[in-house]
Amino acid sequence: MARSRIVVPPSHLRNVAIIAHVDHGKTTLVDKLVYQSGLYRNEELDKLAGGQHGLIMDSNDLERERGITILAKNCAVAYQAADGETYRINLIDTPGHADFGGEVERVLNMASGTLLLVDAYEGPMPQTRFVLQKSLDRGLKPIVVVNKVDRPDSRPQEVVNEVFDLLVDLDAPDDVLDFQVIFASARDGWATADLANPSSNLVPLFEAIVGHVPPPDKADRAREPLQFQVTSLDYSEFVGRIAIGRVHAGVIKKRQRVAVIDHLGEVTRKNVVQLLAFEGLERVEVDEVAAGDLCAVVGMEPIEIGDTIADADEPHALPHTRVDEPTLHMMFRVNDGPFSGRDGKFLTSRQIGERLERELRSNVALRVAPGPTQEQFRVSGRGMMHLGILIENMRREGFELCVGKPQVIYREIDGVRCEPIEQLVVDCPDDCQSSVMALLGDRRAEMVKMGHRSATSGFIHMEFRIPARSLMGLRSRMLNATKGQAIMHHTLLGYEPVKGELPKRQLGVLISNESGSATAYSLDALYDRGIFFVRPGEDCYLGQIVGENCRAGDLVVNVVRGKQLTNVRASGKDDNAKVRPVREMSLEACLEYIEDDELVEITPKNIRMRKALLSENDRKRESRKAAAVEV
């Protein structure tokens, strides 16, 4: 059932973005704010959250599976303040992972203030610094929300001091340093401005938003010519592309004649077919939306993120949203393996190219360029997870493709070749410190800070400056070195001169020399050769990587050999098979694992690793050519 929209004057509007490091509780807080606004009954919220008591704002399947926010989303709630006035609060939920920083950068233009969430134990983390810097660049003053204060190891007052130190380090103006602090438990749905006087609901947070987040703009901006900037895109099979953004000036009306200004400055005239405003988690059709409010516009296709919808008679473009450039690229190519076409529906380079073009329309941090051949595409993104989510979405849509080893993007700065440098934060048990230091020392990491979060935690906190290429393959090795107890986070700091060579993968791989189904008999015979990635009965092909060698150098093996059917039997021999448990390799783990001469084959049902040249003779011939060139 559609809900009626509460109309408030511009002075009673509050546009607030919720920003934080990953897993500090942004989406949980938004869900509780929506719940306590009284717009929905419990059963409605359960239905919206997928019937699993999950998070309403994490509507994407991948978001629910991984427990992270990938796409920025917004909703609107009405709140009756202590003074009796009704306010409408537009809440913008943003991703917390560094790889999806492009989502944060573009939606901050919709906000007039921010809620900076910080974990009461972890304090400011790498992504906290990144999103806070972006919000300060746009002149947004934060309200600091210290979340999870109900944790037994919480240290709220120390975290507030750390946030202050971070703001000083970011050269924040004096008025920002005098920030409002709210202590909260988003999971339990309460907040308070004073820990000595706890609350049972989120009213103190609502009051802080009303009192400290400024209205969008002065009311007289509604009399200026229309300016609306597109910050998000949605799509409907019935009406096509839907432009979502904020009205910066003027009033946009249904059936109004407007001008659309693209990033090149070209102007086209169109009619507003439908105008949708936000009410709760829904969109309500309205006749007009005034300056300062958020809305969705139908009938502007074709339109892209960053375009301006302006007055038809006086078209003036808003500054185009600048997004940081990608730091990582990899080669997408057609799947030319022996099993091509078994699982997927979309196999050709044309279909892959069209899908990447569609992704560019909404993924502002992505770049796509032609590869060395017509069947290859050079795709650049913010990080491994950024590109991994794209590949996973394509896989679920029925695409088959192969991707190469991720490579960092170098830049020439003042004639010097530079590489991206990241801030790496590692929390690990005290007895694992030496293992972590040894692992990072080989990867040209520089320690910046070391200490304990609290005297009783037993965990040591370390911060490093490390080349981005050193992070590839680090997570799995870090977990092995610390028995799965280390916690890692990283974010981009900037570019510095190239640090030098890094150690390559120490162990080789096991490569299948025949096609067929892997057998327990052959895997048993190869028990001491290494760890396998395939199980008995799985289909393998010539050139596929089926395991990790126990020593340096690649080894070609036969994993499809069956037992000879003779009438000679050894007592108990068949019962003593020593097939090791396979190593489960996720998509991101495969992307980090492969070397330059290897590929990851992605299909809707399988993820395999293979050599780029499947034939052993071809690989030997190529290695001889490379050796001749070096000589």
Q: Which residues are annotated as a binding site for GTP?
A: 23-28, 147-150
Question: Which residues, at least 6 apart from 589, have a Cβ–Cβ distance to it below 8 Å?
Answer: 476
Please give the backbone phi and psi of residue 481, each rounded to the nearest 5 degrees, phi first. -70, -25
Number of neighbours of residue 418 by Cβ within 10 angstroms: 15
Q: 98 with 324: CB under 8 angstroms? A: no
- φ and ψ at 158, to 5 degrees? -65, -40
Phi then psi dihedrals of residue 301, to 5 deg: -65, 135
Distance of alpha carbon 151 from alpha carbon 166, whole angstroms: 23
Cα–Cα distance list, 554 to 521, 545, 557, 583 (Å)? 22, 10, 10, 18
The kind and range of the H/E element at 73 are: strand 73-80
Question: For 135, how many CA atoms within 13 A lie in the half-sphere containing its CB?
Answer: 27
Integer angstrom CA distances of residue 3 from 13, 39, 284, 379? 19, 9, 7, 42
HSE (side-chain half, CA atoms, 13 Å) at 243: 25
Name the nearest CA neighbour of 107 among 262, 301, 306, 274: 306
- What backbone torsions phi and psi does residue 38 show, to the nearest 5 degrees? 85, 10
What is d(CA 612, CA 614) in angstroms, rounded to the nearest whole number? Answer: 6
Three-state SS string across 177-214, please?
A: HCCCEEEEECCCCEEECCCCCCCCCCHHHHHHHHHHCC
Cite the annotated binding site by residue number.
23-28, 147-150
Separation of CA 57 from chain center: 15
359 is written with which tokens?
């992704």
Question: What radius of gyration do the chain's Cα atoms show?
Answer: 27
Q: Which of 317, 300, 110 is nearest to 227 (CA)?
A: 317
Nearest CA among 522, 498, 502, 500 for reference residue 510: 522
8 A C-beta contact, residue 210 and residue 81: yes
β partners of residue 9? none
The distance in angstroms from the start CA to the end CA of the chain is: 75
Q: How many CA atoms lie within 13 A of 258 on its CB side?
A: 31
